[in-house]
Amino acid sequence: MKKVALITGITGQDGAYLTELLLSKGYEVHGIKRRSSLFNTDRIDHLYQDPHEKDINLVLHYGDLSDSTNLIRIIQQVQPDEIYNLGAMSHVKVSFETPEYTANADGIGTLRLLEAIRILGLEKKTRIYQASTSELYGLVQAVPQSETTPFYPRSPYAVAKMYAYWITVNYREAYGIYACNGILFNHESPLRGETFVTRKITRATAKIAMGLQDKLYLGNLDARRDWGHAKDYVEAMYLILQQDTPTDYVIATGITTAVREFIRMAFAELGIEIEFIGSGLKEKGYVISCSDPEYQLETGKEVVAVDEKYFRPTEVDLLIGDPTKSKTLLGWAPKYNLKGLVSEMVASDVDLFKREKLLKDSGYAIKNQFE
Query: Which residues bind to ligand NDP, rule: CB under 6 A?
Result: 8-9, 11-15, 32, 34, 36, 40, 64-66, 86-90, 105, 131, 133, 184, 186-187, 193
Are the C-beta atoms of 232 and 341 separated by less than 8 Å? no
Shortest distance (Å) from residue 257 CB to ligand NDP: 14
Give which of ligand GDR, ligand NDP, none residue 225 binds (C-beta under 5 to 8 Å, depending on kind): ligand GDR
210-239 residues in contact with ligand GDR (CB under 6 A) are 218-220, 223, 225
122 vs 236, beta carbon nearer ligand GDR: 236
Would you count residue 196 as binding ligand GDR (CB under 6 A)? yes
**Of 110, 78, 108, residue with least CA distance to 6:** 78
Q: Classify residue 160 by burial, with Cβ atoms within 10 Å: 0-12, 13-18, 19+.
A: buried
Give which of ligand GDR, ligand NDP, none residue 226 binds (C-beta under 5 to 8 Å, depending on kind): none
Would you count residue 138 as binding ligand GDR (CB under 6 A)? no
Give which of ligand GDR, ligand NDP, none residue 64 binds (C-beta under 5 to 8 Å, depending on kind): ligand NDP
Q: At what angle do helices 13-24 and 230-240 cross, to 10 degrees?
A: 60
Give exposure, 324-351, as e/b (b: 16+ Cβ within 10 Å): ebbbeebebebebebeebbbbbbebbbe
133 is catalytic: yes
Give which of ligand NDP, ligand GDR, none residue 315 binds (C-beta under 5 to 8 Å, depending on kind): ligand GDR
User: Dihedral of CA 179/317/105/161: which sign?
Assistant: positive
Query: Which of the following is catalytic: 11, 126, 133, 256?
Result: 133
14 vs 28, beta carbon nearer ligand GDR: 14
Would you count residue 310 as binding ligand GDR (CB under 6 A)? yes
How far lies 241's CA from each of 119, 246, 257, 267, 309, in Å? Answer: 21, 7, 30, 39, 40
Give which of ligand GDR, ligand NDP, none residue 310 binds (C-beta under 5 to 8 Å, depending on kind): ligand GDR
Q: Rounded to an integer, what is the distance from CA 311 to the centroid of its chain?
A: 20
245-264 residues in contact with ligand GDR (CB under 6 A) are 259
Are the C-beta atoms of 43 and 15 separated by less than 8 Å? yes
Shortest distance (Å) from residue 89 CB to ligand GDR: 9
Shortest distance (Å) from residue 195 CB to ligand GDR: 6
135 is catalytic: yes
Q: Rounded to an integer, what is the distance from CA 328 to the centroid of its chain?
A: 24
157 is catalytic: yes
3 state SS of 304: strand
- Binding track over 106-135 against ligand GDR, x by CB under 6 A: ---------------------------xxx
Shortest distance (Å) from residue 148 CB to ligand NDP: 18
3 state SS of 135: helix
Q: Count CA atoms closer than 13 A to 147's CA, side-chain side.
A: 14
Shortest distance (Å) from residue 280 CB to ligand NDP: 26
Compute how many other C-beta atoms are within 10 angstroms of the C-beta atom of residue 173. 11
Give which of ligand GDR, ligand NDP, none residue 8 binds (C-beta under 5 to 8 Å, depending on kind): ligand NDP
Q: Which residues are catalytic?
A: 133, 135, 157
